[in-house]
Chains A and B, each alone.
Chain A
Amino acid sequence: MSRRLVLGSAVLLLAIAGGLPVVAMLAQAFFAGGRFDPAPLAGLLTDAGTWRLLGSSILLAAAVALAACAAGIPLGVLLARTDLPGRRLLAALFTVPLLLPPWVLAVAWAALAGREGLLAPVVGPGAALALDRFLYGPGGCVLVLGTAFLPVPLLLTMAALAEIDPRLEEAGRLHAGWGTVLVRISLPLALPGLLLAAVLVFLLALGEFTVPGFFRVDVFATRSLERFAAFYDVRGATAAALPLAAAALLVLPLESAFLGRRGAPLPGAGTRRRTVPLGRFRAPALAGVLFVAGVLVALPLSALAARAAAPGAFREALARAGDALPRTIAWSVTGASLLLLGGVLLGLVVGRRELPGWRAVDGLALFLFALPGAVTGIGLVALWNRPATAFLYGTPLVVLLGWFARYAALPLRVTTAHLRGIPPALEEAARLAGASWWLRTRRVTLPLLGRGLFLAWIVGYVFCARDTAIAMLVYPPGRDTLPVRIVTLMANGTPGMVAALCLLATGVVLLPVAVVLPVLAISGREDRR
């Protein structure tokens, strides 16, 4: 099988799924009837309200990025490099919010600290009102989105620290204690990764509209949706999406700086990564981390579960979820499988530099991930919503295309990360033995990727199942997904039923993770033996 044909197909799919909609969106915004007509964009830019809203949205996103990094980076250092007990379990616990749709956390916090939340009878009416006012405003958005995106700086800090050659830290240890080495050597070396995390959180927060919508905070990301949903003004919607698309470009130079730091020699014989002994600070550090995990993750989710335990709530939730529940699972399984297939091929293109222009492929995938889902959705509408392409637009295929565009970067990254652990010499030996590209990929590379393939599928499934923005914009009539249905029901459903629906959505997202990850952990232990 031709290498260029197979890999080129994956690149073409990414270009069609994500690149073309962006181009179509630009065309819609700037051209009408074949003539240059930037009137919608000009109208948007000359409106003082636009700049006010954009300014307050940027401030909110910056506050979310600051909050997520202020908690995520120190936690990343503690969980990656110290002898804190239960590090793996704690890292998994802190990662849970990223796996859930952010509005689940918003509903959970409302169940905990809202006017009629679990805390209200405990703290008294005055404090309950103050908590409620804090929650239903920018403070609540920062709290919920900061928690939802905290795993981004946490995981990227852990990844960036893992990339550092241990000998660079050991060379410092000959002259200074661990504190100085972490501050002067490890963190500066990890800086591009930390900056990337901050920018990613900023962009994810800038594009988020469900949580601000829940807490009644007006943000720029809803402007595009309003134009589309309320007025069906596709040109106005695309124009309103452009500032967010432009902001997403920010991520590219930072990513290349992050990757530019790689290529350091791998640890040699006898050079294993040291854990930093916390000594007498071990117990207080553990208590602090457990407290943060309890407040940010366990407490709100417990409040959600308590609210969902209202009589009849689950029965009503199941009835309301109806066919959206199995449909979401079926589409997410299909989406994850497509992402696995395409993402691994794209990972080979980037990780093994198999095609010219691999950097552009990597950049496009990352740009599409940083692009708000609503913008991708608007692009898909601009490109495919026409009679000639009704065969695609009115079907689940358009949702799958949108998911592939937005989330291809994830299996791509999982693949390239695992490829770094496979010495190229193993594939070169197969080549010298006369194996074709397809044979050596099938018999050498893919089997060696092993656990990476499972992980890529799981990551793809989770992000498809939690997706709200893309599905909301392009789902075929009468065939909405569970997240879309819940967001629509949120305003009118009883609190117990909405909480139960949120738990259902949580179950749909986390079930395969709960099944597959322990299997992966066991196989990993056996591999190391």
Chain B
Amino acid sequence: MKLLELVALEKRYGERPVLRGVDLAVDEGERVVLVGPSGCGKTTLLRLVAGLDAPDGGEIRLAGEVVSRAGAVIVSPEARGIGMVFQDLALWPHMTARENVAFPLRARGVPRRERDRRVAELLELVGLPDAGDRRPAELSGGQRQRVALARALAAEPRLLLLDEPFTSLDPELADRLRGDLVALQERLGFTLLHVTHDREEARQLATRVVTLHRGHLGEEAR
């Protein structure tokens, strides 16, 4: 079943077109990696899928429901059931790791006891059972990545978006985290849409690779 469909998607910044008629369909449980050089529109595409921006043309469907169309975000970001790991992680510096991960649950009104249990599970899942009381500034780069991933997974999203989250890590750590991510995805079964400029990373993560160049989608490979 198709979870995400992008139909003739267009986006411009001022006069400059960033996405030009992008069509893409992602099946449930797939790990699709979008590869492209800097400035090709990868982040813009993720932001449109998340509902943080409205497209200028075309439409976006989630599980068959139209969630955005030209000039309009029809379903708000928090109602889409999407998790996202931002390029710079966007961890809230005034909250501990535990509070960061708990936020999506709290926002959905999950009772405190249940919330605590699930946060503990998530921190365990990403390999940080003892880091809950630390703030982002007190965590290493790899630990921050894991907290961001736990937060993105907290509300059990049907689709997880990753915006080059491994760029700033040393190759060895990035390699290990990619392996962990694949293992997690296989265990939990969520759908993954990942963007990167790194072809090696794409090969390691993807069940399908799609290229994006100057706002157009290119060849696909499995």
Interface residues of A (CB under 8 A from B): 165, 167-168, 170-177, 180, 184-185, 188-189, 191, 261, 264-265, 268-270, 274
> What 0/1 readout, one digit per residue, does chain B (86-121) give for beta carbons within 8 Å of chain A?
111011111000000001101110000000000000
Q: Is the CB of A184 within 8 A of B103?
A: yes
CB–CB B78/A174 < 8 A? yes
Contact A168 B92 (CB under 8 A): yes
A62 to B: closest C-beta gap in Å: 26
Which positions in B face A, CB cutoff 8 Å?
13, 18, 39, 43-44, 47, 50, 52-53, 76-78, 80, 82-84, 86-88, 90-94, 103-104, 106-108, 151, 155
Chain A: minimal CB distance from B183 (Å): 24
Which residue of chain A has the shortest Cβ distance to B154 in the bound complex? A175
Q: Contacts A170-B52, A270-B44 known; A189 to B92 CB distance under 8 Å?
A: yes
B39 touching A171, Cβ below 8 Å:
no
10 A-B pairs within 8 Å (CB atoms) are namely A168-B93, A170-B50, A170-B90, A172-B103, A172-B107, A173-B52, A176-B78, A177-B76, A261-B93, A270-B53
* A174/B93 in contact, CB under 8 A: no
Cross-chain contact A174 with B83 (CB below 8 angstroms): yes
A170 to B47 alpha-carbon distance, docked (Å): 10
- Residues of chain B contacted by A270 (CB below 8 angstroms): 13, 18, 43-44, 47, 53
Among A168, A176, A188, A261, contact of B90 (Cβ-Cβ < 8 Å): A168
A261: chain B residues within 8 A (beta carbon): 93
Say yes or no: A171-B93 contact (C-beta < 8 A), given A177-B76, A270-B13, A270-B43.
no
Q: Which residues of A sit under 8 angstroms from B83, Cβ to Cβ?
A: 174
Complexed CA–CA distance, A175 and B77 (Å): 7
Contact among A168, A180, A265 with B107 in the assembled complex (CB-CB below 8 Å)? A180
Asked if A174 and B92 sit within 8 Å, CB to CB, the answer is no
Contacts of B52 in A (CB 8 A): 170, 173, 274
Chain A, Cβ-Cβ closest to B107: A176
> Can you name the residue of chain A whose Cβ is closest to the Cβ of B86?
A167
Q: Output the nearest chain A residue to B44 by Cβ-Cβ distance.
A: A270
- CB-defined contacts of B82 to chain A, threshold 8 Å: 174
Q: Which residues of A contact B92 (CB under 8 A)?
A: 168, 171-172, 185, 189
C-alpha spacing A173/B77, complex, angstroms: 6
Complex Cα spacing A172 to B91, Å: 10
- Decide if B87 touches A268 in the complex (CB within 8 Å): yes
Q: Which residues from A are CB-within-8-Å of B108?
A: 175
The 10 A-B pairs with the shortest beta carbon distances in the complex, nearest first, are A176-B107, A175-B104, A171-B90, A167-B90, A175-B107, A173-B77, A188-B94, A174-B77, A270-B44, A168-B90
Nearest-Cβ distance from residue B196 to partner chain A, whole angstroms: 16
Roughly how many angstroms separate A268 CA and B52 CA in the complex, as a whole number? 14
User: Least Cβ distance of A274 to chain B in Å?
Assistant: 8
Question: In chain A, what residue has the closest Cβ to B105?
Answer: A175
Q: Contact between B94 and A175 (Cβ–Cβ < 8 Å)?
A: no
Bound together, the chains give a CA A335 to CA B154 distance in angstroms of 58
Instruction: Give every chain B residue within 8 A of A175 (Cβ-Cβ).
Output: 78, 103-104, 107-108, 155
In the complex, A264→B94 CA distance in Å?
A: 12
Instruction: Give chain B nearest CB distance to A170 CB in angstroms.
Output: 5
* A170 CA / B84 CA spacing, docked (Å): 10
Highest count of chain B CB atoms <10 Å: which of A171, A172, A270: A171
- Inter-chain contacts of A191 with B (CB < 8 A): 94
**CA separation between A268 and B86, bound complex, in Å?**
11
Complex alpha-carbon distance, A180 and B13, angstroms: 29
Q: Which B residues are in CB contact (< 8 Å) with A174?
A: 50, 77-78, 80, 82-84, 104
How far, in angstroms, from A265 to B93 measured CA to CA in the complex?
12
Residue in chain B with minimal CB distance to A167: B90
Please name all residues of chain A whose beta carbon is closer than 8 Å to the beta carbon of B91 when the two chains form the complex: 171
A contact residues around B50 at 8 Å (CB): 170, 174
Q: How far is the CB of A125 from chain B (nearest CB, A)?
A: 54
Closest A residue to B151 by beta carbon equals: A171
Q: In the assembled complex, how far is the CB of residue A164 from the closest CB belonging to chain B, in whole angstroms?
A: 10
Max chain A CB contacts within 10 Å: which of B13, B84, B91, B108? B84
Q: What are the residues of chain A within 8 A of B76 when measuring CB–CB?
A: 173, 177
How many angstroms from the CA of A191 to the CA of B93 in the assembled complex? 12
Q: Are A189 and B93 in contact (CB under 8 A)?
A: yes
